[in-house]
Structure 1
Amino acid sequence: MITSEVIVGWMNVMTGKEKRQEAGIWKQSRGKGKPAAKGRMLDELALQQIQACVEKMPKRRDLLIEYLHRIQDSHGGLRRAHIKALAHWLNITESEVVSVASFYSHFDLLADDAPGLPDMTLRVCNSLSCTLAGSDSLARELEHLCKGKSVRILRAPCMGRCDRAPAVMAGHNPVDNAIAADVLEVVEKRILFPSLPVYEDLDVYLKQGGYAHFRALESGEMNAGQIELAIDAAGLRGMGGAGFPSGRKWAAVRAHPGPRLMAVNADEGEPGTFKDRYYLETRPHLILEGMLLAAKVVDAEKIYIYVRDEYPAALKILTQELEAMTQHGLIASDFVELRRGAGSYICGEESAMLESIEGKRGLPRQRPPYVAEQGLFGRPTLVHNIETLYWIARVCREGEQLLRQVERNGRTGMRTYSVSGRVVNPGVYLLAAGSSISDIILAAGGMAPGHEFYAFQPGGPSSGLLPARLADVPLDFDTLQPLGSLIGSAAVVILSTRDSVRMAALNMMTFFHHESCGQCTPCRLGCDKALTLMQTPTWDVGLLTELGQVMSDASICGLGQAAPNVFRTLIRYFPDEV
């Protein structure tokens, strides 16, 4: 029987325990008590430092990656004391902060007693285009010349500057067509941020009739149905790689009850791709108007723009122009949020990008549910990439015939090709969607002197490598699948007879091996095993074929599903080289 004396005794025991907890002392019936609670103690100075970094920002869990950027930028790394302080401030566990920070390659986790990072970090691009332009020898030369300097040299994946290869990122300052002397000058002068390129700002865009359709939607002079009809009539499909019809995507999002959100994918990490950077750094308001029109059609209550950390100029331009739009009364100050990536290719996958915007590790989600139903913060979400928004704005301004009137090789429409490698004039080319690789090489000024066309990558590493004999095939949606390839992001890299397709394939698979998020076994182990098999003198074609089938069938997202195209296309088209 529980008597009143027993109850009083329990109360006394609990009261004593609470007092010990309040004092930070945990004492059992036997042994000595601890003078402090278990775990890392909070450093008050570190707490003050992180609060200074984020003082003008709202306190929200989804902003974790933004906070980490601020701390990394201010203190040259993420010390354990700062991790503890940030976790304390957000009321989350340290392990949660470490888990997120360690996922992204642009964050440096440092022990409290570890020496600080060098004053300057040089990231030398090791993508295919930059490798063809001599980035390997440049990296070795910089390592030799920077000995004794407070400089850290890292090899890094594509920075979206393939038209200006080789590229080096000095802090946040890109050095294009880099040679050692130019890089050393940047190091000596400590130029850590780029100057902005000349671009079309809000005043210029408004004088040219910009935002007229958005204002008409706002005032009721036009309705969302008219915009959707124009986009459907133009036949616009998503330009991020999947090619899903834009109008159908809008309908899919609207089919689910609000509130709805929109996310803009400006995280073009596919090596060889730089068209989004080009548009953001030259005509940002075409992108922003297309964004506002699409958001209005699906009645999105807020927009998030996710931009690569490798695009500091684009980030600065967007920050300035969104502020100008707010001052001009086009948007509310909290309607659009800019989010900065942190060096993870997988965040270009739409669901992984949404996870990153939520302040998490960028791991692709299982489907269903699709993001149109349960996307950002569990809400129906419209996701568009930069080029798609570019075309939405242009079709609305210039009419559906803009795309319908252009025809080439039986294909209708236009698309933007990022062209690099062995051509005279690497760059962004707006061509008919049915253009062949012969057309693209011609537009880029022909083959570079001393080079003869041998092979090409039609749509980033995910598309593999195709031989020169397929030079007349249209590079568009649905035309390359029968060839074991795909158009992807239309990242075209040209190789010549002086290049080794085997070494190019190794470069591409090394990228996938490095960028696999590790969530699913077929991709994580598949990329590792494929890279090992591809490094042997003679490939085990049977084993690679079997491995590729498993990766394609069982991987969660497009990385693992498309990575086998690298070795499949070589086995199919270049059997003598494997």
Structure 2
Amino acid sequence: MPNAPDLMQQVENMAVAAALERDADRGRLLEILLEVRDAKGGVGISKQGLMQVAERLHLFPAEAYEVATAFPAVNYAAAAPYATERCGDLVCALMHGTDAGVGVCRNRCDGARTEPDPRGFAAYRAAGGYQVLDRLRAYPGERTSLLERIATHQAVGRAGVGFPVAEKWRQAMAVGRTPVIIVNGDEGELAVFKDRFILESDPHGVVEAALVAARITSADKIFFYVRDDYAPIHAIVRRAMKDVVEAGFTDGITLELRRSGGAFICGEETALIASLEGRPARPVERPPFPTTRGYLGRPTILHNVETYFRLRAAWSTISTPEVPVSSLLDAGVVLFSVSGRVQAPGPKPVRDLARLSDLVEAAGGLVGGVELGGMVIGGSSGTIVSAADCQRPLADLKREGLRLGTGGAIVFGADDDRRVIASRMAAYLARESCGQCGPCRVGTGKARDVLAAPGTLDTALIEDLSTVMTEASLCALGRNAGRFLSRLSPLLASQDA
């Protein structure tokens, strides 16, 4: 009888062979490595197995190694299964204590949850879903007028920048090559889980919008790029993809689900595209922008899940009371991911938010015995907002430069140390830096160490780091980390006063 290591090696050999048999495409390298990890019960591929994959895909060993080590979810050469609980990041520390574990549950920050119950194809179709696709297939000439409706509706991206959707599509169409559509459901931002909420509730609302984008722009490929540890979502999206294929809505368009590898940097679109091409997730200089030269050199349109979902408001009012995300089709509703020291953390659609403190009430109020200390707004490189500012009109805060980003709101108490909170945010950014450029690689690590050091904060060094990172980093991770540092000194000084 073979011993345990020999048996595990046999399992790996079979998994490698099966994954390569399905599709030996270099672009699927990350997916192949994740499939092998799954077959081994969460234990990552070995060096021997990686060399087999590299040989079959005609890659240099260093190329395969770069990808295997760039994505934490691959769990390369690890002896233990990939951990997904108690990450020890900011929200875990607030909810579970400072000694929370070392997994990677980054945005499972809303506590216990029920089994997803998504609206199925039949119910969505009965409510009027896919009618716009019916018209586009029957009358292709309506593509131009529908694009104008999207522009008139002023649909913008919901990933934090707010770039006009129609303009992005027009840029891709102007290139003269067949575009690619990407639905970004990676959602790696700290304590943000709104895209998961949408896909769990109404996946066909996203699939329909992606197909509309493909029909209008004449794209022939749609990628659904979903977080690796969103296992229930994978099944939901695959079911929705199967539904539309069987219904005949995808003729001439290929749909493919790809899993991400747990790298926050894939929130940057060129890094995400690199992972789809079987390369390490590293940003590249822009221009050219992905709309001009993206996936495999083709014009590429990339939006997050919420952006696609909200597009339906431009051409329909499909909604039923039992679908919890229906209100998002109203432009006045903002979807927040609320976590931290609140009674009922979770995704909260909020209409006409007047003050940030209203988010606490939307999340069931503060946990027992806690007085509001403030909030972290906008994720890992967001803004730490004091309790006093949380009570001020949100319109005033936004005029003063507050960005809501992707809608993350981490609530902390009056007894929570803001410097510790800032230190954990900096540690997150340091861990997630791809390391490609010096300002971000060195700056995030130095900021983490300075904020964690005892004694008086070296504000001059913080300001220097902020300037260098903001002005010289290659991508938004480093630049936003620099802006995060620039907002810290007065806030921490007010706490120490």
The verdict on how the C-alpha distance between 1:325 and 1:504 changes in structure 2, with shifts beyond 3 A counting, is same
Question: How big is the shift at 1:118?
Answer: 4.0
Partner of 1:521: 438
Cα distance, 1:138 vs structure 2 = 5.0
Tell me what 1:19 maps to. none
Following superposition, the deviation at residue 131 of structure 1 comes to 1.4
Retained in 1: the 8 A contact 2:15–2:39? no
Q: Are the aligned partners of 1:250 and 1:298 in contact in 2 as well (CA < 8 Å)?
A: yes
- Structure 2 residue corresponding to 1:464, chosen from 348, 360, 383: 383
Aligned equivalent of 1:127: 89
Equivalent in the alignment of 1:548: 466
Q: 1:155 corresponds to which residue? A: 103
Distance across 2 between alignment mates of 1:55 and 1:120: 22
SS at match of 1:563: helix
Give per-residue Cα distances to partners, 1:410-456, cap 9 Å, x unaligned.
Answer: xx733211111222322212223654303322322333332222211
Structure 2 CA distance for aligned equivalents of residues 234 and 213 of structure 1:
16
Q: Distance in 1 between matches of 2:181 and 2:417?
A: 43
Residue pair 1:513, 1:524 contacting (<8 A) in 2 also? yes
Partner of 2:23: 58
CA distance in 1, matches of 2:352, 2:174: 31
Task: Measure, in 1, the Cα distance between the counterparts of 2:475 and 2:400.
Answer: 21
CA distance in structure 2 between the partners assigned to 1:126 and 1:243 by the alignment: 31
Superposed displacement of residue 550, structure 1: 0.6
1:84-95 to 2 correspondence within 5 Å?
A: 84-95=51-62
2:230 is matched with which residue?
Answer: 311
- TM-score in terms of structure 2 length: 0.89
Partner of 2:323: none
Q: Is the 8 A contact 2:87 2:100 kept in 1?
A: no
- Cα drift, residue 387 of structure 1: 0.5
Partner of 1:242: helix, strand, or coil? Answer: coil
User: Percent of aligned pairs with the same residue?
Assistant: 30
| Contact 2:327/2:349 (<8 A) preserved | no
1:52-451 map, 5 Å? 52-54=17-19, 57-75=22-40, 76-110=43-77, 117-118=79-80, 121=83, 123-139=85-101, 154-156=102-104, 158=106, 160-164=107-111, 176=112, 197-220=116-139, 223-332=142-251, 335-398=254-317, 413-432=332-351, 435-451=354-370
CA contact (8 A) 2:91 2:340 kept: yes
Q: Structure 1: state its 5+ residue gaps.
A: 1-43, 111-115, 140-153, 165-175, 178-194, 407-411
> 1:254-312: CA deviations, max 9, x gaps?
22111111111111111110000011111111111111112222221111111111211
Deviation per CA, 1:496-524: give whole Å up to 9, x if none.
Answer: 21211111111111100100000000000
With 553-562 and 493-502 compared, the bigger mean Cα shift is at 493-502
Higher relative contact order (CA 8 A, sep 6+): 2
Between the aligned partners of 2:251 and 2:129, the Cα distance in structure 1 is 18
User: 1:123–1:155: 8 Å Cα contact kept in structure 2?
Assistant: yes
1:523–1:560 CA contact under 8 A, matched in 2:
yes
Secondary structure at 2:118 match in 1: coil
After TM superposition, the structure 1 stretch with the greater mean CA deviation from structure 2, 278-287 or 517-526, is 278-287
Q: Counterpart of 1:68 in structure 2: which amino acid?
A: L
Which deviates more, 568-577 or 510-519? 568-577
Q: Provide Cα deviations, 1:186-225, integer angstroms capped at 9, x if missing partner.
A: xxxxxxxxx9521111121111111111111111177122
Distance change (3 Å), C-alpha of 1:364 and 1:138: closer
Q: For the aligned residues, what is the CA RMSD?
A: 2.7
> Taking structure 1 as reference, are residues 201 and 333 closer, same or farther at Cα in structure 2, changes over 3 Å only?
farther
Structure 2 letter corresponding to 1:92: L
**Residue type of the alignment partner of 2:388:** R
Read off the aligned partner of 2:304 and give its amino acid letter: N
Letter in 2 for 1:516: S
Given that 1:308 and 1:343 are in contact with CA atoms closer than 8 Å, whether structure 2 keeps it comes out as yes
Q: Among residues 535, 541, 553, which one is paired with 2:452 in the alignment?
A: 535
- The answer to whether the Cα contact below 8 Å between 1:47 and 1:85 also exists between their aligned partners in 2 is no
Shift of 1:376: 0.7
Alpha-carbon distance in structure 2 between the residues aligned to 1:475 and 1:331? 43
Question: What secondary structure, in the 3-state scheme, does the structure 1 residue paired with 2:424 have?
Answer: helix
Say whether the 8 Å CA contact 1:346–1:352 is kept in structure 2. Answer: yes
357-366 or 223-232, larger mean C-alpha shift: 223-232
Secondary structure at the counterpart of residue 492 of structure 1: strand
Aligned to 1:486: 403
Runs ≥4 in structure 1, deviation > 6 angstroms?
44-47, 402-406
Q: Is the 8 A contact 1:253 1:380 kept in 2?
A: yes
Q: Distance in 1 between matches of 2:48 and 2:328?
A: 59
CA–CA separation in structure 2 for the residues paired with 1:427 and 1:475? 21
Any idea what SS the aligned residue of 2:283 has?
A: coil
Aligned pair count reads 478
CA apart distance, 1:316: 1.4
Which amino acid in the other structure matches residue 570 of structure 1? Answer: L
Which of 466, 491, 495 is residue 573 of structure 1 equivalent to?
A: 491
Contact 1:53–1:74, Cα closer than 8 Å, also in 2:
no
Counterpart contact for 1:240–1:488, Cα < 8 Å:
yes
Secondary structure of 1:156's aligned partner: coil
TM-score by length of 1: 0.77
Do the aligned partners of 1:50 and 1:82 also contact (CA within 8 Å) in 2? no
- For 1:101 and 1:475, locate their aligned partners in 2 and report how far apart those are by CA, in whole Å: 44
Secondary structure in 1 matching 2:225? strand
Q: 1:350 to 1:298 in 2, by over 3 A?
A: same
Indicate the residue corresponding to 1:184 in structure 2: none
Alpha-carbon deviation of 1:51? 4.9
Shift of 1:332: 4.3
Counterpart Cα distance in 2 of 1:63 and 1:312? 18
Q: CA deviation at 1:375?
A: 0.7
Structure 1 122/225 Cα, relative in aligned 2: closer, same or farther at 3 Å? closer
Counterparts of 1:405 and 1:106, CA distance in 2? 34
Counterpart of 1:497 in structure 2 is 414
Local SS of the residue matching 2:487 = helix
Separation in 1, partners of 2:16, 2:140: 47
Deviations 1:129-159 (A, max 9, x none): 22111154453xxxxxxxxxxxxxx33361x
Q: Which structure has the greater CA radius of gyration? A: 1
Q: 1:556 to 1:55 in 2, by over 3 A?
A: closer
Aligned counterparts of 1:120 and 1:550: Cα–Cα separation in 2: 35
Q: 1:554: Cα distance to partner?
A: 0.5
- Separation in 2 of the partners of 1:331 and 1:246? 22
AA aligned to 1:243 is G
The CA deviation at 1:48 is: 5.6
